[in-house]
Structure 1
Amino acid sequence: MPQRILCSRAVAGANLVQLLTVAALFSFQVLVALVAVLTTLAAARTEALGAAGRTAAEALTGGYRLAFAVGTGLLLAALAVAATVLRPRKTEAPTAPAATASGISTAA
Protein backbone atom coordinates (compact mmCIF):
# COMPACT_ATOMS: atom_id res chain seq x y z
CA MET A 1 0.00 0.00 0.00
CA PRO A 2 2.63 2.65 0.87
CA GLN A 3 4.54 1.84 -2.30
CA ARG A 4 1.46 2.68 -4.37
CA ILE A 5 1.12 6.00 -2.55
CA LEU A 6 4.73 6.93 -3.29
CA CYS A 7 4.39 5.95 -6.96
CA SER A 8 1.20 7.96 -7.44
CA ARG A 9 1.49 11.09 -9.55
CA ALA A 10 -1.39 12.66 -7.63
CA VAL A 11 0.83 13.09 -4.55
CA ALA A 12 2.39 16.54 -4.64
CA GLY A 13 5.86 17.24 -3.27
CA ALA A 14 4.57 18.77 -0.03
CA ASN A 15 2.18 15.86 0.50
CA LEU A 16 5.03 13.41 -0.02
CA VAL A 17 7.13 15.18 2.62
CA GLN A 18 4.20 15.12 5.04
CA LEU A 19 3.64 11.43 4.35
CA LEU A 20 7.28 10.58 5.01
CA THR A 21 7.31 12.71 8.18
CA VAL A 22 4.26 10.94 9.58
CA ALA A 23 5.75 7.53 8.69
CA ALA A 24 9.02 8.43 10.43
CA LEU A 25 7.23 9.63 13.56
CA PHE A 26 5.11 6.48 13.69
CA SER A 27 8.20 4.29 13.24
CA PHE A 28 9.97 6.17 16.03
CA GLN A 29 7.04 5.63 18.40
CA VAL A 30 7.00 1.91 17.65
CA LEU A 31 10.76 1.72 18.22
CA VAL A 32 10.49 3.52 21.58
CA ALA A 33 7.69 1.18 22.67
CA LEU A 34 9.77 -1.85 21.68
CA VAL A 35 12.78 -0.59 23.64
CA ALA A 36 10.55 0.04 26.66
CA VAL A 37 9.20 -3.52 26.55
CA LEU A 38 12.66 -5.04 26.17
CA THR A 39 14.02 -2.89 29.01
CA THR A 40 11.17 -3.95 31.27
CA LEU A 41 11.82 -7.61 30.49
CA ALA A 42 15.53 -7.22 31.18
CA ALA A 43 14.92 -5.42 34.48
CA ALA A 44 12.40 -8.00 35.66
CA ARG A 45 14.71 -10.90 34.78
CA THR A 46 17.67 -9.18 36.46
CA GLU A 47 15.64 -8.65 39.62
CA ALA A 48 14.41 -12.26 39.62
CA LEU A 49 17.92 -13.64 39.19
CA GLY A 50 19.26 -11.32 41.90
CA ALA A 51 16.54 -12.51 44.29
CA ALA A 52 17.47 -16.12 43.46
CA GLY A 53 20.97 -15.52 44.82
CA ARG A 54 22.94 -14.90 41.64
CA THR A 55 25.71 -12.33 41.65
CA ALA A 56 25.02 -8.88 40.22
CA ALA A 57 27.05 -9.62 37.09
CA GLU A 58 25.24 -12.91 36.47
CA ALA A 59 21.85 -11.28 37.06
CA LEU A 60 22.57 -8.42 34.66
CA THR A 61 23.88 -10.80 32.03
CA GLY A 62 20.78 -12.95 32.36
CA GLY A 63 18.51 -9.91 32.00
CA TYR A 64 20.29 -8.64 28.92
CA ARG A 65 20.38 -12.14 27.45
CA LEU A 66 16.59 -12.40 27.76
CA ALA A 67 16.07 -8.97 26.16
CA PHE A 68 18.38 -9.82 23.25
CA ALA A 69 16.70 -13.21 22.77
CA VAL A 70 13.23 -11.64 22.65
CA GLY A 71 14.48 -8.91 20.29
CA THR A 72 16.06 -11.52 18.01
CA GLY A 73 12.84 -13.53 18.00
CA LEU A 74 10.82 -10.47 17.04
CA LEU A 75 13.30 -9.63 14.28
CA LEU A 76 13.12 -13.15 12.84
CA ALA A 77 9.32 -13.06 12.99
CA ALA A 78 9.32 -9.71 11.17
CA LEU A 79 11.66 -11.07 8.49
CA ALA A 80 9.43 -14.13 8.01
CA VAL A 81 6.35 -11.94 7.64
CA ALA A 82 8.16 -9.63 5.22
CA ALA A 83 9.39 -12.56 3.14
CA THR A 84 5.93 -14.06 2.82
CA VAL A 85 3.81 -10.92 2.48
CA LEU A 86 6.00 -8.55 0.48
CA ARG A 87 6.49 -10.37 -2.78
CA PRO A 88 7.35 -8.51 -5.98
CA ARG A 89 4.56 -8.21 -8.50
CA LYS A 90 4.95 -10.30 -11.61
CA THR A 91 4.42 -8.19 -14.69
CA GLU A 92 3.72 -9.65 -18.08
CA ALA A 93 5.91 -8.70 -20.99
CA PRO A 94 4.16 -6.34 -23.41
CA THR A 95 3.09 -8.01 -26.61
CA ALA A 96 3.81 -6.55 -30.01
CA PRO A 97 0.75 -5.33 -31.94
CA ALA A 98 -0.43 -7.68 -34.65
CA ALA A 99 0.18 -6.48 -38.23
CA THR A 100 -2.32 -7.11 -41.01
CA ALA A 101 -1.56 -8.03 -44.60
CA SER A 102 -1.68 -4.35 -45.59
CA GLY A 103 1.02 -3.54 -43.00
CA ILE A 104 -1.30 -1.44 -40.81
CA SER A 105 -1.34 -2.26 -37.10
CA THR A 106 -4.66 -3.32 -35.62
CA ALA A 107 -3.76 -2.23 -32.08
CA ALA A 108 -5.66 0.77 -30.81
Structure 2
Amino acid sequence: MSNSKFFSPNLDDIYEALLDVCNQIKKSGVKIDVIIGISRGGLVPARFLSDLLSIDRIEIVRAEYYAGVMKRMEKPTIHFPSNLDVKGLNILVVDDVADTGDT
Protein backbone atom coordinates (compact mmCIF):
# COMPACT_ATOMS: atom_id res chain seq x y z
CA MET A 1 0.00 0.00 0.00
CA SER A 2 1.32 3.42 -0.94
CA ASN A 3 1.80 6.25 1.56
CA SER A 4 1.52 8.86 -1.20
CA LYS A 5 -0.58 11.89 -0.38
CA PHE A 6 -2.48 13.97 -2.87
CA PHE A 7 -3.51 17.60 -2.68
CA SER A 8 -6.96 18.13 -4.17
CA PRO A 9 -7.45 21.86 -4.69
CA ASN A 10 -10.93 23.24 -5.08
CA LEU A 11 -11.90 25.54 -7.94
CA ASP A 12 -11.14 28.67 -5.90
CA ASP A 13 -7.61 27.37 -5.14
CA ILE A 14 -7.03 26.66 -8.81
CA TYR A 15 -8.33 30.06 -9.90
CA GLU A 16 -6.12 31.86 -7.34
CA ALA A 17 -3.07 29.92 -8.54
CA LEU A 18 -3.90 30.77 -12.15
CA LEU A 19 -4.29 34.46 -11.26
CA ASP A 20 -0.80 34.31 -9.76
CA VAL A 21 0.60 32.66 -12.90
CA CYS A 22 -1.19 35.23 -15.05
CA ASN A 23 0.30 38.11 -13.06
CA GLN A 24 3.79 36.60 -13.33
CA ILE A 25 3.43 36.29 -17.10
CA LYS A 26 2.18 39.87 -17.42
CA LYS A 27 5.05 41.19 -15.27
CA SER A 28 7.60 39.27 -17.36
CA GLY A 29 6.57 41.13 -20.49
CA VAL A 30 6.59 37.92 -22.53
CA LYS A 31 3.93 37.89 -25.24
CA ILE A 32 2.22 34.50 -25.39
CA ASP A 33 0.95 33.60 -28.87
CA VAL A 34 -0.67 30.26 -28.17
CA ILE A 35 -1.63 28.16 -25.16
CA ILE A 36 -1.24 24.40 -25.39
CA GLY A 37 -3.35 22.47 -22.91
CA ILE A 38 -2.15 18.97 -22.11
CA SER A 39 -5.20 16.72 -22.25
CA ARG A 40 -7.01 16.04 -20.09
CA GLY A 41 -6.05 17.78 -16.88
CA GLY A 42 -4.53 20.88 -18.45
CA LEU A 43 -7.61 21.81 -20.46
CA VAL A 44 -9.59 23.69 -17.80
CA PRO A 45 -6.57 25.67 -16.52
CA ALA A 46 -5.61 26.43 -20.14
CA ARG A 47 -9.08 27.83 -20.78
CA PHE A 48 -8.95 30.00 -17.65
CA LEU A 49 -5.51 31.34 -18.63
CA SER A 50 -6.76 32.01 -22.15
CA ASP A 51 -9.48 34.23 -20.70
CA LEU A 52 -7.23 35.92 -18.13
CA LEU A 53 -4.50 36.67 -20.68
CA SER A 54 -6.87 37.42 -23.60
CA ILE A 55 -5.26 34.76 -25.78
CA ASP A 56 -7.67 33.33 -28.33
CA ARG A 57 -5.57 30.47 -29.67
CA ILE A 58 -5.68 27.28 -27.62
CA GLU A 59 -4.35 23.96 -28.92
CA ILE A 60 -4.66 20.53 -27.36
CA VAL A 61 -1.90 17.94 -27.08
CA ARG A 62 -2.61 14.55 -25.58
CA ALA A 63 0.03 13.01 -23.33
CA GLU A 64 -0.26 9.51 -21.91
CA TYR A 65 2.07 8.79 -19.04
CA TYR A 66 0.03 6.86 -16.51
CA ALA A 67 -1.24 3.31 -16.81
CA GLY A 68 -3.28 3.81 -13.63
CA VAL A 69 -3.06 5.60 -10.32
CA MET A 70 0.61 5.71 -9.30
CA LYS A 71 1.52 3.43 -12.25
CA ARG A 72 3.63 5.38 -14.70
CA MET A 73 4.93 4.26 -18.06
CA GLU A 74 8.66 4.63 -18.65
CA LYS A 75 8.21 7.37 -21.26
CA PRO A 76 5.19 9.49 -22.13
CA THR A 77 3.39 9.05 -25.42
CA ILE A 78 2.67 12.46 -26.92
CA HIS A 79 -0.05 12.89 -29.56
CA PHE A 80 0.16 16.15 -31.53
CA PRO A 81 -2.58 17.27 -33.92
CA SER A 82 -1.32 16.74 -37.47
CA ASN A 83 -1.92 20.40 -38.35
CA LEU A 84 -0.22 21.92 -35.28
CA ASP A 85 2.27 24.53 -36.46
CA VAL A 86 3.74 26.71 -33.71
CA LYS A 87 7.19 27.40 -35.14
CA GLY A 88 8.46 30.80 -34.08
CA LEU A 89 5.63 31.35 -31.61
CA ASN A 90 5.80 31.86 -27.85
CA ILE A 91 3.96 28.94 -26.31
CA LEU A 92 2.52 28.48 -22.84
CA VAL A 93 2.14 24.77 -22.03
CA VAL A 94 -0.45 24.02 -19.34
CA ASP A 95 -0.75 20.71 -17.49
CA ASP A 96 -2.34 19.71 -14.21
CA VAL A 97 0.43 17.59 -12.70
CA ALA A 98 3.93 18.75 -11.90
CA ASP A 99 6.00 15.87 -10.64
CA THR A 100 8.87 15.05 -13.04
CA GLY A 101 8.28 17.60 -15.81
CA ASP A 102 8.72 14.86 -18.43
CA THR A 103 5.52 15.64 -20.35
> Which TM bucket (shorter chain)?
under 0.3
Q: Higher strand share goes to which structure? A: 2
The structure with more radius of gyration: 1
Under a length normalisation based on structure 2, what TM-score does the superposition of the two structures give? 0.26
Under a length normalisation based on structure 1, what TM-score does the superposition of the two structures give? 0.25
Say which structure, 1 or 2, has more relative contact order (CA 8 Å, 6+ apart): 2
Q: Higher helix share goes to which structure? A: 1
